Structure 1
Amino acid sequence: MSVYKFLPGPYQTVLLCAIAFNISQVVADEVAVFSGYTLGANDDDTMAAISYSVDTTESFLWSDGWVFTYGEFHGLDKYYGWADFSDVSYYSAGLYWSVWQSEQSQLRFEFAPTYVDSNYYYAHYVGSRWHFMSSASYRYDFAQLPVFAALRYQHTSNGGLAPPNPGVDGLGLQVGYRW
């Protein structure tokens, strides 16, 4: 079963364009799921995501590859009872870099422009639906298996494009399969 079938319509188009653009330069693919909790002012709410990454050859791009993510912020109505804003989806497409790597582990940084499907999430009004998502993760690749696990920190904010800009920080676990 293809990862493509799990992605919403607009995101399928972004994924296909990126793959077509990079098809001759692809070194490896991976799919991963992330589950975490928000930190700070949004403490104890949850977030989840599925991502698809494409490694590219070093000579093609100054990054290590592309990453495409579909995710959700959960728990908005926890304090205020706003049932119509309970889960907020986000879509991102960007680049990643392995800033440190050993035989079975790596420190990875991602940066991606992100579209958030509402101006309200975690009981905050945000001035823009366009955001940026950055993350850092410590990843461990299991020996002789195509799977990995990672501890991931993620920050999403509109970067001051439009006030207010409360941002959301999250910490959680990511597991994935690489081929």
Structure 2
Amino acid sequence: MPRIISPQSPESALTDHSEHNAKIFGSPKDRLDFYRREIQYETTILANRTDAYLTAQSFLVIAFVSCMGNLNPEWGKLFTLVVPLLLAMLGVFSSLNAWPGIRAAYDIIDHWHFKQSELLRSEPVMGLAYDESPLFCETESSHKGYRKSLLFSVRTPWLFTVFWMLLAVFAFYIQVDNPGA
């Protein structure tokens, strides 16, 4: 049964919890391996979400540009006024929809990195082995290191939101500013 551990928790509850974790993981190395697998899994999810989002945005940009290039003399003016604005709104809404999923994956990765760093801090033997190994270093498990690598995915929806708003204003302006063309 899961327990909530707080500063007021009795020592017996904390000991029971530690024994339960020892039974699940077996050793600190098993726990570290588990954390790393979870980080890899969530990073893959974040990468897939970012890829799908960027693919959708690229198709919207192509559709937007195609609509702006419409030269039909009968209905081209109205078309280039309405459809690009609708595509820009779709781009903004899809960006706002993508943000929670991307942010959730980022938060989960942050959680597992925290657990990993706490394990390395709390287990002196693991920490020493970790620091002496040429495959691992403190930069790899620090908050600063992995957060920088995830910034692209986290910032992209906001950058595209601003991009679509600017494109919508631009598309509207060039249609209204030059009505005779």
TM category (shorter chain) comes to under 0.3
Q: Which has the higher contact order (CA 8 A, sep 6+)?
A: 2
| Greater share of strand | 1
Q: Under a length normalisation based on structure 1, what TM-score does the superposition of the two structures give?
A: 0.20
Structure with the bigger percentage of helix: 2
Normalization by structure 2: what TM-score? 0.19
Q: Which has the larger radius of gyration?
A: 2
